[in-house]
Amino acid sequence: MAEENATIEKVESLPSGTERGPLLLTIRNLVINGLVDDTTVPILRGIDLDVHRGEVIGLIGESGAGKSTLGLAGLGIVNEGCIIVDGSITFDGIDLRNCPESVKRHLRGVRVAYVAQSAAASFNPAHKLIDQVVESSEIHKTEPRKRAVERAVTLFGELALPDPARIGERYPHQVSGGQLQRLMTAMAMNCAPDLIIFDEPTTALDVTTQVEVLGAIRKVVQQFGTAAIYISHDLALVSQMAHRIVVLKDGVKVEEAETRRMLASPEHPYTRTLWAVRSLEKSATVAARPILDIRHINAAYGHVRVLEDVSFTVPRGHTVAVVGESGSGKSTLARVVCGLLRVQQGEVMFDGTRLPPLRKERTRDILRRIQLVYQSADTSLNPSHTVRTLLSRPLRLYFGLKGSAANQRVNELLDMIEMSGAYIDRYPSELSGGQKQRISIARALAANPDLIVCDEVTSALDQVIQEGILKLLMSLQRELSVSYLFITHDLATVKAIADEVAVMHRGRVVRFGEKNAVLSPPFDDYTQLLMSSVPQMDPDWLDGVIQKRPGESTHEPAQVVPGKRTKRADRLG
């Protein structure tokens, strides 16, 4: 079967840095405008891009930089509400800007394919996977269904999917996120296209799953010599995939270079900021008396045991990072500490006394002393309240502050989070993502807490904004000696902010201790896996990891309890 793949007849050797295949996609001076509330906003401002046959271009930049718009332009697709104002898009001699829709449609799926960010949402829930994977060949009648299915099954095998012959008979909700992402890659590859647009294909995945999917994607792309545009906000990821990297900022190309050169000597100041968070590192602090002492706790949702014999301490004024992939029990731990979920066994000591298990059993003073900042500021800030209301409610609840006293304190709080009083009457929808997260932090600070539980507070933010939030949290800790229980899946963030680290895997703490001790060898198996899964700024990193890892696809994370995250956000809102 593997031999037959070669009949896809476009296997070319990978172009090394200098020799490139013939030109496949040419974009010249592309200007695309979007329409937001009746005002025209430029999305792309005159972009040039060349993709040669068999070449993988990495496209990076933060959200809103225009990466996805540029990627879709390669398919001749412009999102609703956007228009091409100027420039040209030429795919293999075809003018995608001016040719009729029917001509473009015949390219899509056959010669240019697309892999979307959220595989779970991009598969139609009503149809079997195999029907969707071979749909392009059915639409364009490239070959009989039987052959398309055979090819798909071969691709499933190449992509290390379990049970390649039968997985296609399942429906999208019956397979995991990592598997769906690989299935979508198979869907894109099925008609052996000349060009594939990968739009953040691994962003929604855990680090450990991400490595496997990346490896699988790269393997098939290399094997078939497919040209690709690989879009991501993560430079380390892009550098594993791409021959050349293009950096976008605000719709402008700020830098373009061959991958190794870009990594070795980034020229543009903006490119250098993409390293920012990785250079941030908290220095070691001396041990202190514990503010939080978690002792042998077990917790479950119904019959599903989520935490097993979890114990560790949070010293006063320290940051303890809890790391692990989704489903490892990190967020459940946060719920236990905040009194949102009853433990089955064990106890939590807070400042020397036993913490009542549930929120409603706790005194107001204890509630005040433990605050929570949630991952998504969008859903945890009430959209119909102004910043003033959001911040003065805890002041009134815990301290009885009203009127000018409350106002003064709100202004102080805004000052602490480095936002001016000008924001005081704004609604959350009028703030940026980073500003919203700052307001969430200020709301927690309003209670003068001793402990703030931070649940993935930076995960939804761009690198540069992440760095700002992390710096803010650290400076607040120095000033107020507040302690953080910092939940994250990102080891770079851990390095930046933690004093102690607890590594969680399948509901257990597999490793706990001072940061440098935890993050230095010798590792246990899981920490080793986690550490090696963090993308490094080294184009050979992925090769190294995949060689060392025994078998791909053996590791799929446990399923997350559906709906649990959003529910909690509602309750806290």
Partner 1 sequence: MILRNLKMIPPLIRTIISRLLLGVLTLVAVSVIIFSTVSMLPGNFATAILGQSATPETVAAFKSRLGLDQPVATRYFNWVGGILHGDLGESLSSSPGAPRFVADIISSRLRNTFLLASVTALIAVPLSIVLGVLCALYRGAAFDRVVNGISLTTISIPEFLIAYILLIFVAVRLRWLPTLSNVKDGMDVAEWVRRMTLPVLVLTIGIIAHMMRMTRSAIIGVLSSPYIHMAKCKGASPARVILRHALPNAWAPIANVVAVNLAYLVVGVVVVETVFVYPGIGQTMVDAVRTRDLPLVQACALIFASAYILLNLVADIIAISTNPKLLHPR
Which residues bind to partner 1, rule: CB under 8 A? 75, 77, 105-110, 113-114, 116, 118, 121-127, 135-136, 139-140, 170-171, 173-174, 187
* Shortest spacing between CB 184 and partner 1, in angstroms: 8
SS3 label, residue 298: strand
Radius of gyration of the chain (CA): 25
Q: Could you give the C-alpha distances from 510 to 238, 290, 336, 527, in angstroms and in order?
A: 31, 20, 19, 8
In a 10 Å sphere around its CB, with 0-12 CB exposed, 13-18 middle and 19+ buried, how is residue 294 labelled? Answer: buried
* Shortest spacing between CB 110 and partner 1, in angstroms: 7
* Shortest spacing between CB 361 and partner 1, in angstroms: 32
Which residue, 29 or 174, is less far from partner 1 as judged by CB?
174
Task: Give the separation between CA 181 and CA 196, rounded to whole angstroms.
Answer: 14
Which residue, 129 or 355, is less far from partner 1 as judged by CB?
129
Which residue, 170 or 316, is less far from partner 1 as judged by CB?
170
* Shortest spacing between CB 567 and partner 1, in angstroms: 19
Which residue, 113 or 494, is less far from partner 1 as judged by CB?
113
Which residue, 302 or 352, is less far from partner 1 as judged by CB?
302
Would you tell me the crossing angle of helices 433-445 and 387-399 to the nearest 10 degrees? 10
- Sign of torsion over alpha carbons 94, 99, 100, 104: positive
The DSSP letter of residue 108 is B
* Shortest spacing between CB 122 and partner 1, in angstroms: 4
* Shortest spacing between CB 84 and partner 1, in angstroms: 17
Task: Give the separation between CA 145 and CA 131, rounded to whole angstroms.
Answer: 9
Do the bridges between strand 23-36 and strand 82-91 make them parallel or antiparallel, or are there none, so unpaired? antiparallel
Which residue, 176 or 273, is less far from partner 1 as judged by CB?
176
Which residue, 192 or 530, is less far from partner 1 as judged by CB?
192
* Shortest spacing between CB 201 and partner 1, in angstroms: 13
Task: Give the separation between CA 62 and CA 384, rounded to whole angstroms.
Answer: 28
Which residue, 133 or 242, is less far from partner 1 as judged by CB?
133
Which residue, 134 or 487, is less far from partner 1 as judged by CB?
134
* Shortest spacing between CB 450 and partner 1, in angstroms: 42
Task: Give the separation between CA 519 and CA 541, rounded to whole angstroms.
Answer: 18
Of 209, 180, 214, 211, the closest CA to residue 198 belongs to 214
CB 56 within 8 A of CB 50: no
Phi, psi of 177 (to 5 degrees): -60, -40
* Shortest spacing between CB 127 and partner 1, in angstroms: 7
DSSP string, 487-530: EES-HHHHHHH-SEEEEEETTEEEEEEEHHHHTSSSPPHHHHHH
Which residue, 118 or 536, is less far from partner 1 as judged by CB?
118
Does the bond joining 522 to the residue before it have cis omega, within 30 degrees of 0? Answer: yes
Which parts of 131-276 are beta strand (E)? 195-199, 227-232, 244-249, 252-258
* Shortest spacing between CB 153 and partner 1, in angstroms: 19
